[in-house]
Amino acid sequence: METKVIKKIGVLTSGGDSPGMNAAIRAAVRAGFYYNLEMYGIYRGYEGMILNDIKKLDSKNITHVLERGGTFLKSARSEEFRTPEGRKKAYDNLRSHGIDALVVIGGDGSLTGAHLFYKEFGIPAIGLPGTIDNDLSGTDSTIGFDTACNTAIQAIDKIRDTATSHDRLFFVEVMGRDAGFIAINAGIGSAAAAILIPEKKMPIEDLVEKLKIRTKAKKSSNIVIVAEGGKSGGAAEIAEKVKKHLPYYDIKVTILGHLQRGGAPSSFDRLLASKLGVAAIEGLLQGKYDVMAGLINNRVVFTPIKKAIVDDKTVDDDDFRVAKILST
Among 78, 134, 254, 303, binds a copy of itself (CB under 8 A): 254
How is 122-136 classified by DSSP, letter by letter? Answer: ---EEEEEB-TT---
Comparing CB distances to a copy of itself, the nearer of 70 and 233 is: 70
Distance CA 276, CA 158 (A): 33
Nearest in space to 49 (alpha carbons), one of 85, 98, 94, 19: 94
- For helices 204-216 and 235-245, the axis angle rounded to 10 degrees is 60
Distance CA 142, CA 179 (A): 13
Are 12 and 73 within 8 A, CB to CB?
yes
Comparing CB distances to a copy of itself, the nearer of 32 and 230 is: 32
154 marked as binding residue: no
Among the residue ranges 60-68, 199-207, 226-234, 304-312, the one whose residues contact a copy of itself (CB under 8 A): 60-68
228 marked as binding residue: yes
252 marked as binding residue: yes
CA distance from start to end of the chain: 55
Q: What are phi and psi of 249, to 5 degrees?
A: -90, 140
Q: What are phi and psi of 252, to 5 degrees?
A: -130, 155
Contacts with a copy of itself, 202-241, as mask; x by CB under 8 A? ---------------x-xx---------------------
Q: Which parts of 19-58 interact with a copy of itself (CB under 8 A)? A: 19, 21, 26-27, 30-31, 33-34
Looking at the DSSP assignment, which residues form a beta bridge with residue 254? 172
The DSSP letter of residue 5 is P
Comparing CB distances to a copy of itself, the nearer of 93 and 221 is: 221
Amino acid residing at 185: N
Nearest approach, Cβ of 88 to a copy of itself (angstroms)? 25
Nearest approach, Cβ of 293 to a copy of itself (angstroms)? 13
Comparing CB distances to a copy of itself, the nearer of 205 and 316 is: 316
- Is 258 near a copy of itself (CB under 8 A)? yes
92 is catalytic: no
Q: Kindly report the CA angle at 15 between 10 and 18, in degrees rounded to 5?
A: 90
Are 299 and 272 within 8 A, CB to CB?
no
Among 10, 12, 49, 71, binds a copy of itself (CB under 8 A): 71
- Is 201 near a copy of itself (CB under 8 A)? no
Are 301 and 293 within 8 A, CB to CB?
yes
Are 69 and 132 within 8 A, CB to CB?
no
Among the residue ranges 1-9, 84-92, 100-108, 157-165, the one whose residues contact a copy of itself (CB under 8 A): 157-165
Nearest approach, Cβ of 312 to a copy of itself (angstroms)? 17
| Among 17, 53, 100, 133, the one annotated catalytic | 133
Q: Which parts of 125-154 interact with a copy of itself (CB under 8 A)? A: 140, 146, 149-154
Among 88, 95, 122, 322, binds a copy of itself (CB under 8 A): 322
The DSSP letter of residue 195 is E
Comparing CB distances to a copy of itself, the nearer of 149 and 196 is: 149
Q: Kindly report the CA angle at 169 between 164 and 171, in degrees rounded to 5?
A: 120
108 marked as binding residue: yes
Binding-site annotation, residues for ADP: 26-30, 160, 219-221
User: Which residues are known binding-site members for Mg(2+)?
Assistant: 108
The catalytic residue positions are 133
Residues in the annotated binding site: 16, 26-30, 77-78, 107-110, 131-133, 160, 168, 175-177, 219-221, 228, 252, 258-261
